[in-house]
Chain A
Amino acid sequence: MTDAPVTTKKDWATDQEVRWCPGCGDYSILTAVQLLMPELGVRRENTVFVSGIGCAARFPYYMNTYGLHTVHGRSPAIATGLAMARKDLNVWVVGGDGDMLSIGANHLVHALRRNVNITILMFNNQIYGLTKGQYSPTSEQGKVTKSTPQGSLDQPFNAVSVALGAEATFVARTHDMDRAHMQEVFRRAHAHQGAAFVEIYQNCNVFNDGAFDAITKRDARPFMIIDLRHGEPVRFGAEGELGVVIEGGRARIAPVAEVGIEALAVHDEAAADPSAAFAMNRLASSVDVPTPMGVFRAVERPEYGASMDAQIVMAQARGGPGDLKELLHSLPTWRVG
């Protein structure tokens, strides 16, 4: 990995015209990734981007790596096979909230619980963009769209809660307005052994413009983004005057002056039990309240493909590599003539 040639952003970009709507949040995510790749010390030919269907799923066409644009919702399953077959590859999976939490939710949770060595970037724009504006599984209840003229009836998913509930070993949230934050989270996700899940709040300026403005606008961030830092008390606000307290399994926001710094929750991303991470994420009940960002959880657990390979090695150590002739004679045999 360290012998990778020196590259720049240009080496990681393709000659394909980028086809997202002007002003779409996807551009800043693409730039963040293309700028980050040269720093990761990986080779382009050992990098694969796999996607399903949706605006976000166009991502692989713009990365000068191997790329596979597949069918709606199934990219985690396809990536699972690829990552199991090829431990030498860095497999990234890119998709939107419809792709990963609606039609493909099943594959997402199973890839996460198995801990397959893939890095999943889920662009959450709370809308179906490519099909021109229907509500998505992360849209807020009551959302008026083309398919819900009287407001949507569905309780939305919270992506981070889903990932934590699926026993994911790495769970993080970031947003498209802060390149440095995105890159830091992506770097961590890439380095993680196993399945890494990153939710990215992404603005769809055509069908759901400003959905995250209350949180991600530069001047709102100090009060609305709760920056999670491992080993530190969780606090935010212009002067760090606000903090998070977890009591009886529930998180609440409190003025530090009132509760005292000792009362604040100390963020532990490596905690074996995800309860505190889950409680913390429950603060993000909608997109107009202070929302935790950063790495919620990063724990070690055996990676799936490596465990499968270990079983192969063990089987070969026990009986030697497979011998076809022996296999064909492994049931009772008899001779004629």
Chain B
Amino acid sequence: MTDTAERVHETVPETDRIVVRFAGDSGDGIQLTGDRFTSVSALFGNDLATLPEFPAEIRAPAGTLAGVSAFQIHVADHEVTTPGDAPTVLVAMNPAALRSELDLLVDAGTVIVNRDAFVARNLAKAGYEADPLADGTLDGYTVITAPMTELTKLACRDLGVKPRDAERSKNFFALGLVSWLYSRPTEPTLEWIETKFAGRDQVIAANRAAFAAGHAYGETAELSASRVSVGAAPLEPGTYTNVNGNTALSWGLIAASQQAGIPLFLGSYPITPASDVLHELSKHKNFGVRAFQAEDEIAAVGAALGASYGGHIGVTVTSGPGLALKSEMIGLAVSLELPLVVIDIQRGGPSTGLPTKTEAADLMLAMHGRHGEAPLPVLAARSPSDCFFVAIEAVRLAVEHRTPVIMLSDGYLANGSEPWRIPAVEDLSAISFAFTSEPNRIGPDGEPAFWPYQRDDRLVRPWAIPGTPGLMHRIGGIEKEDGRGNISYAPANHQKMVDIRAARVDAIADRVPEASVVGDSDARLAVVGWGSTWGAITSALKRLRGRGHQVAHVHLRHLNPLPRNLGALLGGFDRVIVPEMNTGQLARLLRAEYLIDARTVSKVAGQPFMAAELEGAIEEELGGLHRRDASLNGGGSR
């Protein structure tokens, strides 16, 4: 691999970044092609970020616009935090893909098409009246048209593969061609084909042949002029792997279970885009994980709570519609003061909304979506690999503070991937707690007694699990007398318990790291973000700073309780901007909490922010600040 890479460096011009968008029919293997390109780029040493986009229908009619599946990847020789605003290269496997994706491409970008798919029937399905390859539609772009289907069939002809089966390998032809154009190593893909399709020799042979044919096509079709290479990025030393958010999250839960020394119980009901966490954890029973597919969302969280009551780490993972269904049970967990981790991989809503598209509009649901006063900690992950650490933090807070915790991720983080420097297991911080095994009172009869709601100085009650002699107790969702835990309808006691439940969550702020500023701390404008907007904000601010602007970035992992210093910190800025994939939910919280004029930059289009969109919005705010200064300074002359 090193040999190839070095040779390539000698002969191929370098570029600092490319953004490739693979698009085709959902049956064309686009996601797999994108994954492979990601994997070899990661192994090659680039930094990268990805954005898979699937149609909601599993089998949308072939060749139609609704059936287009896409995968975008940003590959660079420097740190990147977004999948790229606009692709520099579009690989379109059919006319529908070209039609739906072409507008995204940068001016003078490269278009690679499977020419064989551009036949009358497919053109009609895509709504083209004339052939876009011939009518000037692609003027101004660099266009590579390869007869991918025919050349794949040809390459497979002598392998005894039926033409219809051979055709299915055409995505490997595309991958081969793109790998050649961008000087990607070939060995990892060939090896992967062997492992992935082990035992299916014909499939291996066909895919290898298609890949090789695509790779060779670049040379023979004399496309060298289009060939570029992207060098390795100067990443911190360490061992890296490429993870998506759902995998990192699942591993975080397993790590947390190991750190706490108690088994993990996952109750889950299949829902896009959260099901992959259920799938991943189901594979790891050797860690003692009980992954339980429940009959519905309510049973999923109920079983998790039951497991927590029994001394396991009860976790449930879902998306917005599921979180709505779980409300009542989460309220019970608040009342029972038992550990429970609820993970919401947000998607477009309301209702079924956009199941396969991203959005971050469940913050208010997480904060307040229960009847009665039912506060609980809320956390959000900012990048795919951050899901690992936030999952551990969620378990830590749940277990150490005996409370349900809601962790927010979203569809973009769930499926998007990035290179991740694998942390040393020894460096993961411990989760410390102990089950209660002894009575904590002397009863009126002089005998030892157990009060389930007797609290420690952090207002945390004991976790006494069934099976512990002498600590039998009865608790439930009816209001309880503080301390003793017996049913109580007393007015003053309810007031006290409501206050305690709020204070308990508030006390967690003592261990929440102070909010800190990334960028120019003496800037006048701060951008406050939460969740997956981190990448786009980081990238936009880098560009603005590169052009001489001063801007600060505060990104929140803990949304409840908020860092203690946040109010004072934000109060020091003239302008606070909050980009959100909703209509302003965090901004509303900040306004309510600190009486500051937090301003929303909103996007709810089922897609993450592009850095350029934020760059523009923030620049406008900066302009507004300058104009205000000018009018204040020159007030007399007006």
Contacts and interface: CB of A to CB of B under 8 A. Distances in A.
Contacts of B237: 336-337
Interface stretch (B64-72, B87-95, B281-289, B614-622): B281-289
Contacts of A311: 285
Contact of A107 (B45, B265, B299, B308): B299
A319 B286 CA distance: 7
B366 interface: no
A320 interface: yes
Interface string A30-65: 000000000000011111101100000000110111
Contacts of A308: 290, 292
Given A69-B474, A85-B311, A333-B240, 5 more contacts: A77-B298, A77-B302, A324-B287, A332-B188, A337-B235
A189 B263 CA distance: 29
A77 B421 CA distance: 39
A110 interface: yes
Interface string B31-50: 00000000100110100000
Nearest to B258: A324
Contacts of B470: 45
Contact of B263 (A61, A85, A315): A85
B311 to A, nearest CB: 7
Contact of A110 (B295, B314, B486): B295
Contacts of A336: 45, 232, 235-240, 421
Nearest 4 interchain pairs by C-beta? A69-B476, A337-B237, A81-B306, A81-B303
Interface residues of B, number: 72
Contacts of A78: 302-303, 305-306, 309
Nearest to B423: A328
Contact of B239 (A63, A71, A320, A333): A333
Interface stretch (B21-29, B393-401, B404-412, B461-469): B461-469
A329 B307 contact: no
B476 A70 contact: yes
B102 to A, nearest CB: 33
Given A82-B309, A336-B238, A74 B299 contact: yes
Contacts of B487: 16, 61
Interface of A: 14, 16, 43-48, 50-51, 60-61, 63-71, 74, 77-86, 88-89, 106-107, 110, 308, 311-312, 314-316, 318-322, 324-325, 327-329, 331-337
Interface of B: 39, 42-43, 45, 188, 232, 235-243, 247, 251, 254-255, 258, 263, 265, 267, 284-290, 292, 294-296, 298-299, 302-312, 314, 328-329, 332, 336, 421-423, 425, 465-478, 486-487
Given A16-B486, A329-B241, A331-B241, A82 B310 contact: yes
A150 to B, nearest CB: 32
Given A80-B299, A110-B295, A324-B425, A85 B306 contact: yes
A75 B532 CA distance: 37
Nearest to B294: A77
Contact of B469 (A45, A69, A77): A45
A128 B249 CA distance: 44
B532 to A, nearest CB: 21
Most buried by B among A69, A83, A328: A328
Contact of B474 (A61, A328, A331): A61
Nearest to B39: A332
Contacts of B302: 70-71, 74, 77-78, 80-81, 107
Contacts of B473: 66-67
A321 B287 contact: yes
B344 to A, nearest CB: 19
A71 B328 contact: yes
B327 to A, nearest CB: 10
A89 B310 contact: yes
Nearest to B417: A331
10 contacts: A45-B471, A60-B476, A61-B487, A71-B329, A80-B292, A80-B306, A81-B292, A312-B285, A321-B286, A332-B188
Given A85-B306, A107-B299, A110-B295, A67 B286 contact: no
A337 B475 contact: no
